[in-house]
A and B are shown apart, each in its own frame.
Chain A
């Protein structure tokens, strides 16, 4: 009888019944004050425990972070300018950007009490506009999605949870080798005058379509030149159109704590050596995706080639440190697949 009751509720919940959501909310109304009081009472014990366990690590990490902040201060200014430029270009072309999505800042107030789920509890909920399915980021990148929302708190499933899956893009290099031209000796380098004097000899006065061909420049070409002339004294790496970044798409799946998430279902034709370790992984976006496009997730840490028609599997090093979460940003972007929850 008891087992039947449990099975009935499991079936009801897995079928997405709103009744179980009502039960959870009702229980939360009763439980939240008790949990709040308990949290206040037990916080000194938790803090003492953490201080005892983590003091040395925290000091070492603080030193490392101070050095890292100093290194990145300069780079951040340049990066901010590039990001602004990219956002303007995306806006000009009518493409979606993260800058156009409002967000809510929240603080992590609790970890999962169980050993079999990867969730954290944050201190913002439905009152702040948060809904189920919204993506959650920290300063580094994507960390998960909202799975349960109460009035003033929410549960966030981390990207490492085995139940988490997201369509992603892997920015890979082309299989073609870049063309790097050696520097010319200074005496061989063309001068401005000599370049301008080199005109197309095929042009005739009768057609009056004289074309001036400057070395290394093809008129009307908006991408890359076919003919390249090296400059003097420096190497020039010429990007070929087909050599620009290629984006492979796949599904990112969590594999539990201690295991790196993986990307599967890459195109079968994708060769493992076309994806290099360190290639960035970003969200793919799209109408049915759980996150908007181009949210940074991590980098490829290992490429596992598989036999047969199965494409390669990529192990992902997340940019966000999931073991040390404090302040998070919830993007107020509810995927279509989660609408109405």
Chain B
């Protein structure tokens, strides 16, 4: 019993929850305050895209779903809206790098940025689907552009974090 508990705590999914809590906290505090051109960089979406780009579609979907549910829990949006969008972001970034056998780092960064920016376009669409109208307007382009640039800056360190978080066996040093 105790061994099973230890194994669960040591699993990558438990580690993922802890890392996502920290990233979410950064999103609601630091990245909620720092608003280049008036728009918040969606670091949580970028992290999800990193998970997809550094692993596969299945991991991207799962990480996106978990991160989205956590995001919805702290926002006033219906539980599940961000989950759907982030799942698509994770899957999209994985699909973008899938055709390449060993994609270089800059290609992953590009894929992450594009997927995260795509998430910012999908979010108002999904809100409209569930009846929360009023967000489909021209400023989406500016929001997506800010997230795209944010992705180009943050993707590289977050790719390393997502790789460490989601690796099967944790190795600390040699």
Contacts and interface: CB of A to CB of B under 8 A. Distances in A.
B21 A34 contact: yes
Contact of A10 (B62, B78, B139, B143): B78
B102 interface: no
Interface residues of B, number: 50
A10 B30 contact: no
A143 B173 CA distance: 53
Given A31-B24, A113-B32, A162 B135 contact: yes
B61 A49 contact: no
Given A38-B25, A114-B42, A27 B70 contact: yes
B33 A111 contact: yes
A157 B134 CA distance: 14
B29 A24 contact: no
Interface residues of A, number: 50
Counting chain A CB atoms within 10 Å of each CB, which of B62, B68, B78 scores highest?
B78
A110 B32 contact: yes
B65 to A, nearest CB: 5
Nearest to B130: A10
B170 interface: no
Contacts, number: 147
Contacts of A258: 139
A287 B26 CA distance: 42
Interface string B43-75: 000000000000000000110010011110111
29 contacts: A6-B65, A9-B78, A9-B79, A10-B78, A12-B79, A14-B130, A14-B131, A27-B74, A31-B21, A31-B24, A31-B25, A34-B22, A34-B25, A35-B25, A35-B74, A38-B22, A110-B28, A111-B35, A113-B28, A114-B40, A114-B42, A115-B39, A116-B77, A116-B127, A116-B135, A117-B75, A162-B133, A256-B135, A257-B139
Given A10-B81, A27-B70, A257-B38, 11 more contacts: A5-B65, A6-B84, A6-B87, A7-B80, A34-B21, A35-B29, A38-B22, A114-B123, A157-B76, A162-B133, A256-B134
